[in-house]
Amino acid sequence: MKSKPVVLMLLALLILPAIGYADVIPVSPISPIASFMGAVAITIILELMVAALFLSVTKISKNILIAVLIANLISLPVVWFAFPLLGQTLLIVALSEIFAIVLEAGIIFFMNKKAISMKQSLILSAIMNLVSFFVGGFVFAAMLDLYLLSVR
């Protein structure tokens, strides 16, 4: 039970910097496509690392990593370009993350039915997406800090 406050504190440290800039809309010197490509690279690296660790611990075939890569290449453009058309609210962000978790879990499962259960696919997808969401928020906040400091 002592680890619960530590986990909550770590989560707060990861997400609070991003929330602090929720109302700031700077003019980015980077194009949306360049931002997307950077996010794709970071997300794929993070999610493949998380998946490899999960598969190692659960003794599930590493061949599933191919499905993780394909799932990310399909879900990321939808989350980045389609969901923002619905608005920029916390509800839309939450819906986009749920969409990514469910879609990626489905792809992972259907490409590897003999090696992984749907439950394991959902757990794997949820862990991968939570890690990439929080780390991505932290990286975004750090980059925004650097950008805002550079334009002062």
If you ran DSSP here, which 8-state letter would residue 30 be given?
S
Mean pLDDT of the 113-131 span: 97
Q: Write the pLDDT tens digit of every residue in 43-60.
A: 999 999 999 999 999 999
Q: Which tens digits make up the pLDDT trace of 26-47? A: 445 567 788 788 888 989 999 9
Q: Is the pTM of this model over 0.85?
A: no
Q: What angle do CA 125, 95, 147 make, to 5 degrees?
A: 90
95 and 83 Cβ atoms separated by less than 8 Å? yes
Residue located via tokens 């650097």: 146
Residue 127 pLDDT greater than 90, yes or no: yes
- The CA radius of gyration of the chain, in Å to the nearest whole number, is 17
What does the DSSP 8-state code read for residue 86?
Answer: G
Q: From residue 97, how far is each of 83, 90, 100, 114, 143 by CA, in Å?
A: 10, 11, 5, 26, 22
Contact residues for 40 (Cβ-Cβ < 8 A; gap 6+): 72, 73, 76
Q: How far, in Å, CA of 100 to CA of 92, rounded?
A: 12
Average pLDDT of the chain? 83
Tokens 């690392």 found at? 49
